[in-house]
Amino acid sequence: MDEDWQQSGFGIYIHWPFCESKCPYCDFNSHVSGNVDQRQWAKALVSELERYNLLLPHRAVNSVFFGGGTPSLMTPELIETLLMCISETFGFTRGAEITLEANPSSVEAGKFQDFRGAGINRVSLGIQALNDQDLKYLGRMHSAAEARRALDIAQTTFPRTSFDLIYARQHQTLQSWEAELTEALSIGTEHLSLYQLTIEDGTVFGRRHAEGKLPGLPQDDLAADMYSLTQDMCNTAGLPAYEVSNHARPYAESQHNLIYWRYGDYIGIGPGAHGRLTLNGIKHATETKLFPDQWLKDAQSGNAEASRVRLTGKECGTEYMLMSLRLLEGCDLSRVAGFDPSLVNISKIKDLVEMDMLSQTGDILKATPAGRPVLNAILRDLLND
């Protein structure tokens, strides 16, 4: 395996677990807290960065992603402290991407200029819907008007801006989604993340759905029509899907997320954060404790990793296939074989190509337009022994 990660880059993910409120569809590790000692958290996060730098010397950082939770609740001073630490320890590559996820409330939008000064050069706004009724359904705290204002400010403040929308929502029609996506595309953004609403176990929506209290969810056929419409409209607007749910103009793709999907290395810092690190030529999976108080205690004790597991070649090849086939550029079968040759099942690949679910050119395997909506089923078939 050696240093396979170098083909895909090296990033740092910093998880800020705190939110003002918990969205009913969210299954991320987020916690509502109105009293966070950010100086204490700064010391703990810096300690973890310095620990990883000793473990991984001489690695310049291609991207940093502040996710959550709601990382725009961090102070600009905290973000500046962390970025200075990364610069002084690892160092950045030229043109490194530094992204902050943000909620579009008016208070956070007012801090955007300070975030830019702290070093953020890309912001990802969690807008989710462009009408007030659906924002209420989704449990969002902002209005559609606040979202539009925050987006205006973001586009004039940061070199790069993205925003998220959720579709296949309660009582949503194909016509209403077409109108909403038309508005989203007219805003002129370079990057859109467009997700179908999924009902996850352990969420408020999951409990409501199990009790029959989540009416108006689209049937499978309507959701499929919404997906197809999304692809057509974004392609026409010059924002094709470079990943199943992510659309961008050329050269505006999320460089940090490409590290994940291309199976590079990344450090995961913060409660519940995951990482993939190559140490002495061997890929490892890292994980931290979920609960903020426990993570903070561990970090203050000198090591916030809850586990570090050595991955087998088969596990690495499987993960690479799972991630890379989500991308329009596809999967390199020679790279899969480098992890574990037994994963390249020529017979199954041939069958899926004949079914027009996959296409193959040399060693490059891609999901076709017909295959992308059913990619999970294709992957199960490909990886089933």
Give ∠ CA 49-81-287 in degrees, rounded to 5: 30
List Cβ neighbours of 115 (8 Å cut-off, separation of 6 or more).
72, 76, 79, 100, 102, 123, 157
The answer to whether 191 and 127 are in contact (CB under 8 A) is no
pLDDT score at 234: 98
Per-residue tokens: 123: 């912001």
Beta strand residue intervals within the chain, DSSP E: 10-16, 18-19, 31-32, 61-68, 92-102, 122-128, 160-167, 191-196, 241-243, 246-248, 265-269, 274-279, 282-288, 305-310, 331-332, 358-361, 364-367
List Cβ neighbours of 106 (8 Å cut-off, separation of 6 or more).
146, 149, 150
C-alpha dihedral over 91, 268, 95, 236, to 10 degrees? 180
pLDDT score at 33: 66
For the chain, domains (ranges, CATH) are 4-259 (3.20.20.70), 313-385 (1.10.10.920)
Banded pLDDT at 30 (limits 50, 70, 90): low
Per-residue tokens: 273: 């954060």
Banded pLDDT at 31 (limits 50, 70, 90): low
Q: Radius of gyration of the chain from Cα atoms?
A: 21
- With pLDDT > 70 as the criterion, what percentage of the chain qualifies? 94
119: which DSSP letter?
Answer: T
Banded pLDDT at 251 (limits 50, 70, 90): very high
Instruction: Determine the Cα–Cα distance for residues 81 and 113; give it in Å rounded to an integer.
Output: 16
Banded pLDDT at 51 (limits 50, 70, 90): very high
pTM of the model: 0.93
Average pLDDT over residues 171-193: 95
Instruction: Determine the Cα–Cα distance for residues 47 and 301; give it in Å rounded to an integer.
Output: 10
Per-residue tokens: 124: 């990802």
Average pLDDT across the chain, whole number: 91
Instruction: Determine the Cα–Cα distance for residues 185 and 188; give it in Å rounded to an integer.
Output: 6
Average pLDDT over residues 92-121: 91
Whether residue 69 has a cis bond before it, omega within 30° of 0 = yes
Average pLDDT over residues 241-254: 97
pLDDT score at 138: 82
3-state secondary structure of 339: helix
pLDDT score at 44: 97
Residue 124, strand partner residues: 101, 162
- pLDDT of 27 above 60: no
Average pLDDT over residues 274-290: 95
> Per-residue b/e over 170-194, b at no fewer than 16 CB within 10 Å?
eebeeeebeebbeebbeeebbbbbb
Sheet with 92-102: strands ordered across: 241-243, 246-248, 191-196, 160-167, 122-128, 92-102, 61-68, 10-16, 265-269, 274-279, 282-288, 305-310
Q: Decide which of 31 and 141 is more confident.
A: 141
Per-residue tokens: 37: 């000692």
CA distances from 116 to 109, 123, 146, 158 (A): 11, 9, 20, 7
Per-residue tokens: 137: 């359904």
pLDDT score at 204: 65
Average pLDDT over residues 363-367: 97
pLDDT score at 60: 96
Q: pLDDT tens digit string along 196-215?
A: 988 777 766 767 767 776 77
Q: Decide which of 255 and 290 is more confident.
A: 255
pLDDT score at 43: 97
pLDDT score at 67: 95
pLDDT score at 41: 95
Instruction: Determine the Cα–Cα distance for residues 128 and 162; give it in Å rounded to an integer.
Output: 12
Banded pLDDT at 217 (limits 50, 70, 90): confident
- pLDDT of 72 above 80: yes
- pLDDT of 369 above 60: yes
Beta strand residue intervals within 290-379, DSSP E: 305-310, 331-332, 358-361, 364-367
Give ∠ CA 275-111-189 in degrees, rounded to 5: 70
Closest by CA to 287, choosing from 29, 18, 65, 54, is 29
Average pLDDT over residues 339-350: 93
pLDDT score at 6: 83
Q: pLDDT tens digit string along 119-170?
A: 999 999 999 999 999 998 888 888 999 999 999 999 999 999 999 999 999 8
Residue 163, strand partner residues: 125, 192
Average pLDDT over residues 350-377: 95
